[in-house]
Amino acid sequence: MHKARLLAATHAHPPAPADPPTLNIGCSGWFYWHLRGTFYPTQMPTKEWFAYYSDHFSTVELNAPFYSWPTIGTVEAWRRQAAGRPMVYTVKVSELITHIKKFEGTQDLVRDFGYIADLLGPLMGCFLFQLPPSVPYSPALLDTILAQLDPARRNVIEFRHASWWNDHVYAALEKAGAVFCSCSGPKLPDTLIKTAGDIYVRFHGVQRWYRHDYSVEELTVWAQRIIEARAKRVWVYFNNDFDGYAIKNAAMLSHILGSG
């Protein structure tokens, strides 16, 4: 990815950011074995799963890049599978940057990973930078993170420690043009934060991670928050994938907001 980025930079200017739809609702990942028989028809070959998913949702949050740095071939495969479909990918940034190196000396790595957006072109949504839950608020770390972000990208930062929900963080992200990831998660503030034109929400669960089946009433509360935020663009992903709840709840919220 590094060599490809440098080579591309010597030949052409990066393409302008794509202009995705106003409302983007989907799931955090689409390939889970437990979805066979609960979402995907039992006899459907796995090679047909993405097409089936894209018949129901027009965006997906890719979690695999967090665990394994994508190759050029991987990104090209994403492009091929979405060909002819109204699909937008959001890409979770590698744990090498966020969890292992913890943003120490990762400027080039962030640029290299950002090249994925140039390769995806109009299929690109956001980059999701997720911090570990063990990392509390630190003004120095916040400055380090924001200094490495490319403002030409749609950068979303997900904090997992409640101390990051404070006015200094909101102001710093707003100044940098970065998006604060609002979370529905255990022991995290239950509120929607807006620091940019776009807003971004991840649903993980209420009392337990990944296992909560959101009720219509709970999603209606979030739908009202989303409407009242008057965002230029909305990104919502369900990560409560236990028993297929993410699929079910994403469809519910889409219906509530009038997109389903």
Cα 226 to Cα 93: distance, rounded to the nearest angstrom: 25
Question: What residues of the chain score a pLDDT lower than 50?
Answer: 5-6, 10
Encoding tokens for residue 206?
């209420």
Cα 166 to Cα 162: distance, rounded to the nearest angstrom: 9
Neighbours of 80 (CB within 10 A): 8
- In tens, the pLDDT along 128-162 reads 999 999 999 999 999 999 999 999 999 999 999 99
Tell me what percent of the residues of the chain surpass a pLDDT of 90.
87
Predicted TM-score (pTM) of the model is: 0.92
Domain topology for 2-8+20-240:
TIM Barrel (3.20.20)
Domain extents for the chain? 2-8+20-240
Look over the chain and give the mean of its residue pLDDT values, rounded to a whole number: 93
- Per-residue pLDDT, 250: 97
